[in-house]
Chains A and B, each alone.
Chain A
Amino acid sequence: MIYQLQNIRKTVGSFSLKIENCQIKKGKIYSVIGANGGGKSTLLNTLSLIEPPSKGKVIFSGQKINYANKNDLLNKKRKIGYLLQNPYLFNMSVYDNVSCGLKIRGFKPQETKAKVNRILKEFSLTDLASRKPSQLSGGEAQRVALARTLVLDSDVFLLDEPTANVDKKNIHNVEKIIFRLNQEKKSTVIITTHSQYQAFRMSRDIISIVNGQIKDIAYENVFSGTLKKETDKIKTLALSEGIALRLGSGDTGPVTIAVDPSDIILSKSELSSSALNSFSGTIVRLDQANGSLRVFVDIGVEFCALITHHSFYNMSLNIGKKVWLTFKANSIKVL
């Protein structure tokens, strides 16, 4: 675990972040989703170790944070790269902005130069290296701020809406760089985003924050794979051997998809319908969900379907029973 948050309370004005228990695993990418003012940035602020929580314990790399020990705190902060929401660029050139974090953290000049040049190239900022912030567009400024954070070789990257203001073409590139850092350096990445699509594209681990509290995630049945063309209108996504989803939309190539559990029809025998996706499997577990039951079915991979208690008992279902899952091609959301 890179982070453990225990009984955290953080009050900012009238807003309060309340986290009973949250664990962040080392080397993974997490997406934090939620509405504006829901607590995403407050959570990141707490994880950045910049501001102590009003109450509770923050454990970083197995050590409880002691906010009074300034030297130790500074050393730990330097293991974190934090991109603020709506970041600020210093009144200096793009090159100096990108290199200033490395200089602050004591990197040698040669190493700094090599790292900065590499990241500028990756972000297509080499030609803008001598420009001042006032000569940059909103998207360019955001990329500079991101480059300044991602060049830091940190154990953890906290990225508060990293692709805000970034155009579509560059969003893909930014995500690619984040993946590279995660893969190469085994850095833990936590990003906040408004876009659920981006959240699921970036990670399988979603933290959903509503009114300062961590809630169940909005999407389930999320899978990644390569979308292949079957006919002009139908594409397939192989989930495991012999199990392939059939979709009506999406570009061929790598994709992540989600199927809303309430769109899945659960039946005891195969339905004769126009739905393109029908699979048989075994109920492996059950869970309560706001007056309904979440039924987890193993069809080779695990799917979750939502069903009322009434239907569940009427159909005499239980763990171990064989069932069929049926859903339409357009119930599959490409993320």
Chain B
Amino acid sequence: MNYLTDGLLMALKIIVSCDKQFFEIVFVSIKVSFISTLLASSVGIPLGIFLAQKKFPGRGIILTIINSLMSLPTVAVGLMLYAFLSRQGPLGHFGLLYTLSAMVIGQFILILPITTGLTISAVKTLDRRVAQTIIALGANSRQRFRMFIHEAQPGILAAIIAGFSRVFAEVGVSMMLGGNIKGYTRNITTAIALETSKGEFALGIALGIVLLTVAFAINVFLTTLHKQTT
């Protein structure tokens, strides 16, 4: 039990002392998660709206694949991309392994099925008159897309929050593709894994508490944003 109380006290101490190294770790987590969520949302939301609306041969198979990939293990993504990005891999010459870019790519692949799949659900559960009304008003493709986003806003925001939460808390991709390099690719989750492996449980718990607090704050922000826009 000492671990927990020590961890809590250490968490408070770290936050209050404005430890530079700690804030670097938090900044890497937020930066990489934000960029990967932004990219995955930019691709996943339009793709989700398209797949929810259009019917074409093979659509059912694509939807099944997307749903299956929503539970993709982070280490599987990490391992697969490692094989591609390592020096001997087909994309090794780009020198991306153990960089923030590699982490972003891995996290993007990890949550693309989540943002796409949840957007599909959000649009498919809309009243069928939404599409009819938008078309009847004479909307072109771009305007239709914007109206769908507006009407499916709560579901789409849930897709973004779910995607962000997944990457913010994942460790497999960050560890395998980022390499947990101090001051460069070390983020909250890889730091927790490192401290725990060193036996520094209190520091690990402290970082865990910080992780939860930051995740909670970001979700509160996104939810408030949603309430203001509806």
Which residues on A are within 8 Å of B, measured CB to CB?
48, 50, 74, 77-78, 80, 82-84, 86-88, 90-92, 100-101, 104-105, 148, 152
Contacts and interface: CB of A to CB of B under 8 A. Distances in A.
B151 interface: yes
B88 interface: no
Contacts of B151: 90-91
A148 B133 CA distance: 11
B218 interface: no
Contact of B129 (A50, A77, A84, A105): A84
Interface of B: 127, 129-130, 132-133, 135-140, 143, 147, 150-151, 153, 230
Contacts of B137: 100-101, 104-105, 148, 152
22 contacts: A50-B132, A74-B138, A77-B138, A78-B138, A82-B136, A83-B136, A84-B129, A87-B133, A88-B130, A90-B130, A90-B147, A91-B153, A91-B230, A100-B137, A100-B147, A101-B137, A101-B138, A104-B137, A104-B138, A104-B139, A104-B143, A152-B137
Secondary structure at the A interface, as helix, strand, loop or mixed, is loop
Secondary structure at the B interface, as helix, strand, loop or mixed, is helix
A90 B132 contact: no
Contacts, number: 46
Given A74-B138, A87-B133, A105-B137, 7 more contacts: A84-B129, A90-B150, A91-B153, A92-B150, A104-B143, A105-B138, A148-B137
Nearest to A92: B150
Given A91-B150, A92-B150, A84 B133 contact: yes
B53 to A, nearest CB: 14
A311 to B, nearest CB: 51
Nearest to B129: A88
Contacts of A82: 136
Nearest to B127: A88
Contacts of B140: 74
A84 to B, nearest CB: 6
A83 B136 CA distance: 8
Contact of B136 (A74, A84, A91, A92): A84
Nearest to A105: B138
Q: Which 5 pairs across A and B sit closest by C-beta, in order of nearness?
A: A88-B129, A78-B138, A82-B136, A101-B137, A88-B133
A101 B138 CA distance: 7
A104 B133 CA distance: 12
B210 to A, nearest CB: 37
Contacts of B147: 90, 100
B208 to A, nearest CB: 38
B230 A50 contact: no
A105 B151 CA distance: 19
Contacts of B129: 84, 86-88
A77 B138 CA distance: 6
Contacts of A77: 135, 138
B187 to A, nearest CB: 37
Contacts of B127: 88
A136 B133 CA distance: 19
Nearest to A102: B137
Nearest to B130: A88
B132 to A, nearest CB: 6
Nearest to A96: B150
A48 B133 CA distance: 12
Contacts of A91: 150-151, 153, 230
B225 to A, nearest CB: 16
Given A74-B138, A77-B138, A101-B138, A88 B143 contact: no
A85 B159 CA distance: 32
Nearest to A79: B138
Nearest to A50: B135
Contacts of A50: 132, 135-136
A88 B230 CA distance: 17
A86 B167 CA distance: 43
Contacts of A87: 129, 133
A281 B175 CA distance: 100
Contacts of A101: 137-138
Contacts of B150: 90-92
Nearest to A77: B138
B139 A48 contact: no
A80 B135 CA distance: 11
A42 to B, nearest CB: 13
Nearest to A74: B140
Nearest to A103: B143
A209 B143 CA distance: 35
A79 to B, nearest CB: 9
A116 to B, nearest CB: 14
Contacts of B138: 74, 77-78, 80, 101, 104-105
Contacts of A86: 129
Contacts of B230: 91
A88 B147 CA distance: 13
A84 B132 contact: yes
The residue in B127, B139, B143 that gathers the most chain A C-beta atoms within 10 A of its C-beta is: B139
A115 to B, nearest CB: 14
